[in-house]
Structure 1
Amino acid sequence: MINSHKSTFNNFEERLSNALRAKEISERQKIDTLEVKSYISLSSIYRDNGNVNLFLKYSHKGLKLASKINETSLLAQINKSLGYYYYDVMVDSAYYYNNKAEKLFRGLKDKFNTAVVLLDISILQRIDKDYTGSELTSVEGLSLLDQLDETEGVKKYKSYFYNNLGIVFKELSQWEESIKYNNRALDIKKQLQGNNKATIDNQKNNIANVYKNSKDYDLALEYYNELLSRKNLINDRPDFYAMVLDNYAHTLYLSKNLEQLPGLYLKALSVSDTIDDVYNNIILNLHLAEYYNDLNKKDSAKYYAYKAKGISKEFSKDTYLESLLVLSKIEKDSIAVKYYDAYIELNDSLIKNERSIRNKFTRIQYETDKIEEENIQIAKERMWLLIISVVVILASFLLYLVVTQRNKNKELQFIQKQQETNEEIYNLMLSQNESIEEARTQEKKRISEELHDGVLGRLFGTRLSLDSLNMGTTADAIKTRGEYIVELKTIEEDIRKVSHELNTDFVSGSGFIDIIKTLVETQTLAYGLHYNFEHDGTINWDGVSNKKKIHIYRIIQESLHNIYKHANATQVSISFKLKNNVICLIMTDNGSGFDVNKAKSGIGLKNMNSRIKEINGIINITSEKNIGTKVTIEVPIP
């Protein structure tokens, strides 16, 4: 994915352009994980730019897709981001998303991010005055960080947890515990790399506040003086300067040291007004109201008290509650009672609201835990389903292997028996062929001897006799005898030629046809059939493999058997023809015929098809009821 982190790009437009391009590529390529990451990147950019609507849009799109593809790490990251956003917007939503993120990170065994989310949860609990819950959550977060290496990130978040614990114990008025954790936070912050002056100053202000609330005013003033002595603090951090100056002034007020008052208050108020710091403005107005009320300057006290009330009504219920209490002390009679009653009513409402929120937090945590338990149960059920499915698949596969192996064994046994039968037929064919060849050779030898010793001898004697008569002196006698002698020489040469050819093995390859003819004669005689046998003398059976010859022999044998067994025929015709180097065997009968489609599953036809397949041939069977059947087989010679 194209990197859109703001450390890489210097401006919003460049970051946004690259993030949108990454989204477009991931959506086009349909790579879900990268698509979710592009949504996270876009939501982060829009959040940094203050575009809340687009931040929420892409956050929830990422959340939906990450849930669909079950990307736990990305789900945790998005929930964490949403929890951080709702921190200042909607407390229960912040708690909801943080709680989900915490469960997800914990499931991933990501201790660091689990602790980071626990920090947000602990601060939310503290803000809603669930101090015990905040303390327990902080301790849990610290225990997770203690299990990790002491990196900068780990140390920084430890300081945040210690700071939160310091504030919690301050609210619980446990001053020593508060000082202890504040000092731990301060010690860690001093060890961190980089410029940490601001965060160190914040921690010192927190320590000073604890001392102020515990009435150790001298130590509080010492810390405040140290902070106010910082050069350019008013320019670098005017809001912090106004807060510290107000704390310093208020500590003087509490310690009854009023010499610099109200000047310090007014100076701090002037800085707050300049930078429009609403919260500090409210607190300063309340402090001034208390100060003038103690001096019995009611008009000034009322001025600042009502000013604080007016600002805080739309800003913060806590500061508005405090302004009501201050007015109940400044005003008299029924007005004082009215503000005190309003204070009581609002305080009760806030307490109920805090209790309701705490209950809601508990319910959210319960529901989240319940969902997690359900998810674990679903995961277990899915695991068992997967295991059972795997077992069933394996068992089915093994059963398939067993059945297949048995079928293969049967097929091998059948092929073996078929091979043995083929060998027997081949041996029989060779034996029969040898007998035929031997008889043929003997016959040729007998004819040759008869021609050579009988006819040729007599012709030779006649030629000699005529040759002796050639002594006649008449012209006609000499001519006649000469013609007879020439004719006899011609006859002698022809007989020699015939004798020589008869003594040569000139009928090579004709033995297979003789074997087939013998088979047909034998089978038709046994089956009571009349036959007609034709063959093409141009077929070179010597060029045909023994395997093909054997299968052709067996096919003819199987066909004759089927005709006898099923056809009730009286006549069968068998012919061999050669077409384009392909041997065509045609067998017809005048039997009862049959339905070819229904008979395809018969053993006889299966065997014939199997044999044709073995020799790369083609078989075609046509049949008509009460007319007969025609079997055409084509076998290539090569």
Structure 2
Amino acid sequence: MNIKFYLLLLFCSYASFSQEVINHNLDSIQYYLAKTENTKFSTIDKRLHYANRAKILSKNEQIDSLIVKSYITLSSIYSEKNNNKEFLYYNHNALKLAYKIKDSIALAKVNKNLGYYYYNRVIDSAYYYDDRAEKLFNALKDNYNRAVVLLDIALIQKQEKDLTGSELTSIKGLSLLDKLEETKDVIKYQLHFYNNLGHIFKILEQFDEAIFYYKKSIDKQNEFDSSNKVMLNNLKNNLAVTYKDASQYDYALNQLNEILDNKNLKNERPDFYALVLDNYAHALFLSNNYEKLPNLYLKALKICDSIGVESYTVIINQHLAQYYKSFNKIDSAKHYAYKSKEISEKYSKDDLLRSLLLLSQIEDDSVAVKYYDKYIKLNDSLIKNERATRKKFTRIQYETNQIEQKNKQITRERLWLLIISIILVVTSLLLYIVITQRNKNRQLKFIQQQQEANEEIYNLMLSQNESIEEARTLEKQRISEELHDGVLGRLFGTRLSLDSLNMNNSAEAIKTRSQYIDELKTIEQDIRKVSHELNTDFVSGSGFIDIIKTLVETQTNVYKLEYNLDHDGAIIWDEISNKTKIHIYRIIQESLHNIYKHANASIVDINFKLKNKVICLTITDDGLGFNVNKAKSGIGLKNMNSRIKEIDGTINITSKENVGTTVTIEAPIA
């Protein structure tokens, strides 16, 4: 007992300790993950250390959700470190595990990260991951992150000349942000959407709409961070270029002058300064103000050459070519036109397209035709590529939608399968309950019938006992009368005669006394006889044996069997419960029925004995016998076993084929 107690105590202590260790590790994982977010006070290497600790503990505890979170954290830190290999490794591992555990939040985040990564690398992949992320955030009702991803999608669509798609995506993103509280982050993404819409409408030459959205983006930037002159100048430059293209040159020059008023701009952002200077010079050119030209163009070109930003010089060279062509300085115009063509071939097909058109306008007829043909071919190629890209995006969307629809279909099928399974389980349960209830009702009905039969036997026993008691009473009355009228009268007469002869000693008197003494002996024998009859005819409990004898006689007569009934007089049946007697009665009845039905016997022996306060009943027949091990247990035998259990007894059946069967029952006296 003590050993068991100590083992139980040890097990409980171990379980408690294990739970404490698990809880401690969970707290540690959460602690390390929280520390990775502290960018102000922790170095990037320290944050990487914390993220790795969280990953190791998560793997040790085998908590998939925390492993995924650790992977995503590690991928973000490696992105900051510009370690693309590790960034992709942890993102793709997080993606696999998130799919496995169906973590929608993690899936959305990873797809968003991968979409952002591929934005400037592989447009198809970027669009694919962004599209999946947008749908996942939509399912999660996360409007903010959905809008962030929609901005990336809109920028990709604009880049691939799907302007209508980019416009619709931007409007959708803005409508999502409008539903949110106007925080700094919300304002930041609103200004990016407005700026993108300005670009789209500028390309479409819908200048009024472009100017409207550029102004809104500038207002949002002032609301977000008016001290960020870099972003404000970029937006103002976009607005100025739109004014220039819309032939509103005064507005364009005012915006550009505001930017150029910053005396530090040339030193802080020389590339941007050159770009703004070129736009300013081109606005002057278009407004027929040639006073500062071409010096401003040449100054901008010189700055670009000095800082090595060759790609910026394409547009400056094109503007110089236009300028010299307008003054019919064809050689200079050709020089800058060919230079823009040469540089644009390295960087941008759109710039190359404009350079080819410019050459077709500057060169002589045959050469001009050649460049115009190249312009047409390149333009057709770009249009074809744009269409192919739009189709590709549509296909990606379609395939993603198909996957989503398939997932929804699978979800619906699983739901229906669950519903059908529940219905089947409930139906099966109801059927089981109904069948069980029916069986219980049958069992109760059987028990009720059994009880009624037991009551019938009990009433029969009572009736038999009443008959015996009545016979007993009559017999006692007869004996009483006989004792009173016969024996007592004779005793009284003999006593008087002996009294009269008491004092007489004659030979005749002696002889007469001798006769009276013999008479007394005769009376003594009569009294013994009456006493013996009284003792043997009415032994206690003879009534139950009479009932058994009646049963056996009746059954064997019907079944055409001979019987021997032997009972131990030591069994006092009046002291045995009626329940035990009823079950014994029924067991004998069932045994006789089985002998008739299966044994084909001619003789049955029934024997009652009392051994150590246990009633031993043996029923033996000379029938066919059977293999006890192979025989099936029928209803009759089950009923016999049930009755034996009711009285805490035992039953044993032995049988030999062609010899006979013996049923031995032992029932303790309660």
TM-score band w.r.t. shorter chain: 0.7 to 0.9
Mapped to 1, the partners of 2:570 and 2:194 lie a distance apart of 110
Aligned equivalent of 1:530: 563
Q: Which segment drifts farther, 350-359 or 599-608?
A: 599-608
Q: Which runs of 5+ in 1 are unaligned?
A: 274-279, 470-491
Q: Quick check: 1:47 aligned with 2:83?
A: no
Which residue in 1 is equivalent to 2:312? Answer: 283
CA 1:169 to 1:361, structure 2 compared with 1: closer, same or farther past 3 Å? same
TM-score with structure 1 length normalisation? 0.75
Helix, strand or coil at the partner of 1:531: strand
Q: In 2 relative to 1, CA 319–616 (structure 1 residues): closer, same or farther, beyond 3 Å?
A: farther
Specify the alignment match of 1:605 in structure 2. 637
* Paired amino acid for 2:597: K
1:243 aligns with 2:311: no
Counting only pairs closer than 5 Å after superposition, residues 19-58 of structure 1 correspond to structure 2 as: 19-20=51-52, 22-23=54-55, 32-58=64-90
2:224 to 192, 200, 219: 192
Note if 1:223 corresponds to 2:226: no
- Residue aligning to 1:422: 454
Change (3 A) 1:134 1:534: same
Which residue of the partner structure matches residue 134 of structure 1?
Answer: 166
Which residue number in structure 2 is paired with residue 174 of structure 1?
206
| CA pair 507-193 structure 1, distance change in 2 beyond 3 A | farther
Counterparts of 1:351-362 in structure 2 under 5 Å?
351-362=383-394
Deviations 1:25-62 (A, max 9, x none): 65566655555444434433433333333433443344
| Distance in 2 of aligned mates of 1:104 and 1:139 | 19
Whether 1:553 aligns to 2:585 is yes
Calculate the TM-score normalised by the size of structure 2: 0.72
Q: Deviations over 1:443-471 (max 9, x none)?
A: 7899899999979x989x99xx99xx9xx
Q: Deviations over 1:388-421 (max 9, x none)?
A: 4444444444334333333322222222111111
Query: 8 Å contact 1:298–1:330 — kept in the other structure?
Result: no
Moved more, 379-388 or 563-572: 379-388
Conservation of the 8 A alpha-carbon contact between 1:593 and 1:628 = yes
Give 2:194's aligned amino acid.
Y
Aligned equivalent of 1:115: 147
Instruction: Tell me the residue number matched to 1:566.
Output: 598
Aligned match of 2:192 = 160
Contact 2:198–2:209 at 8 Å: present in 1 too?
yes
Given that residues 163 and 203 in structure 1 are in contact (C-alpha distance below 8 angstroms), is that contact kept between their aligned partners in structure 2? yes
Q: Do the aligned partners of 1:618 and 1:634 also contact (CA within 8 Å) in 2?
A: yes
Partner secondary structure for residue 161 of structure 2: coil
Which whole-Å CA distance do the structure 2 matches of 1:187 and 1:600 have between them? 96
Task: Give runs of aligned pairs for residues 143-154 of structure 1, distance below 5 A.
Answer: 143-154=175-186
Give deviations 1:13-34, integer Å, cap 9, x for gaps.
Answer: 5544554555556556665555
Distance 1:578 1:229 in 2: 129
Contact 2:75–2:90 at 8 Å: present in 1 too? yes
Measured at CA, do residues 140 and 289 of structure 1 come closer, stay the same or move farther in structure 2, by a change above 3 Å? closer
Provide the aligned C-alpha RMSD in A: 5.0
* Structure 2 counterpart SS, 1:626: coil
Per the alignment, residue 302 of structure 2 pairs with 266
CA distance in 2, matches of 1:187, 1:380: 47
Work out the number of aligned pairs and report it: 597
- Code of the aligned partner of 2:272: M
How much does 1:126 deviate? 0.4
Q: Which amino acid aligns with 1:169?
A: F
Q: Hey, what does 1:7 align to over in structure 2?
A: 37
C-alpha separation in 1, matches of 2:459 and 2:129 = 88
Match of 1:206 among 230, 238, 251: 238
CA distance in 2, matches of 1:368, 1:61: 21
Taking a change above 3 Å as real, the CA distance of residues 222 and 632 of structure 1, as seen in their structure-2 partners, is: farther
Task: Indicate the SS of the match to 1:223.
Answer: helix
Q: In 2 relative to 1, CA 623–41 (structure 1 residues): closer, same or farther, beyond 3 Å?
A: farther
Q: State the match for 2:517 in structure 1.
A: none
Distance 1:512 1:196, change over 3 A: farther
- Judge conservation of contact 2:570–2:610 (CA < 8 Å) in 1: no
Whole-angstrom distance in 2 between the partners of 1:579 and 1:233: 123
Distance 1:369 1:285, change over 3 A: closer
Secondary structure at the counterpart of residue 618 of structure 2? strand
Please list the CA deviations of residues 227-263 of structure 1 after superposition, one character each: whole Å capped at 9, or x if unmatched.
455586677xx45x53144213441254143355644
Query: What amino acid is aligned across from residue 204 of structure 1 in structure 2?
Result: K
Counterparts in 2 of 1:333 and 1:390: CA distance versus 1, 3 Å? same
SS at match of 1:192: helix
Task: Return 5+ residue gaps in structure 2 as ranges.
Answer: 1-25, 285-289, 503-523
- Residue deviations 1:532-554 (CA, integer Å, cap 9, x gap): 43559479984x65434422321
Shift of 1:568: 2.5
C-alpha deviation, 1:165, in angstroms: 0.2
Which residue identity does 2:302 align to in structure 1?
A: L
1:145 CA drift (Å):
3.2
Rounded to whole Å, the distance in 1 between the matches of 2:644 and 2:60 is 54
Instruction: Tell me the residue number matched to 1:487.
Output: none
Query: Is the CA contact 1:534–1:576 (under 8 Å) kept in the aligned structure 2?
Result: yes
Map 1:25-104 to 2 at 5 A. Answer: 32-104=64-136
User: Residues of 2 paired with 1:443 and 1:46: CA distance?
Assistant: 117
C-alpha distance in structure 1 between counterparts of 2:227 and 2:190, whole Å: 18
How much does 1:178 deviate? Answer: 0.8
State the shift of 1:558 in Å: 0.8
Contact between 2:147 and 2:174, CA under 8 Å: does it hold in 1?
yes
> Between the two proteins, what is the percent identity of the paired residues?
55
* CA distance, structure 2, for counterparts of residue 514 and residue 373 of structure 1: 86
Larger mean CA deviation between 515-524 and 301-310 belongs to 301-310
- Encode CA deviations 1:203-248: one digit per residue, 9 max, x unaligned: 233223323443444433433443455586677xx45x53144213
SS of 2:619 mapped into structure 1: strand
1:247 counterpart letter in structure 2 = V
Is the 8 Å Cα contact of residues 243 and 268 (structure 1) preserved in structure 2?
no
Secondary structure at the counterpart of residue 37 of structure 2: coil
**Within 1, Cα distance between the matches of 2:264 and 2:458?**
115
Candidates 170, 176, 183, aligned match of 2:215: 183
**Cα-to-partner distance string for 1:331-386 (whole Å, 9 max, x where unaligned):** 99999998887766555443332222112112222333344444444544554454
Q: Which amino acid is the alignment partner of residue 460 of structure 2?
A: L
Kept after mapping to 2: 8 A contact 1:118/1:137: yes
Distance in 2, Cα, partners of 1:145 & 1:22: 34
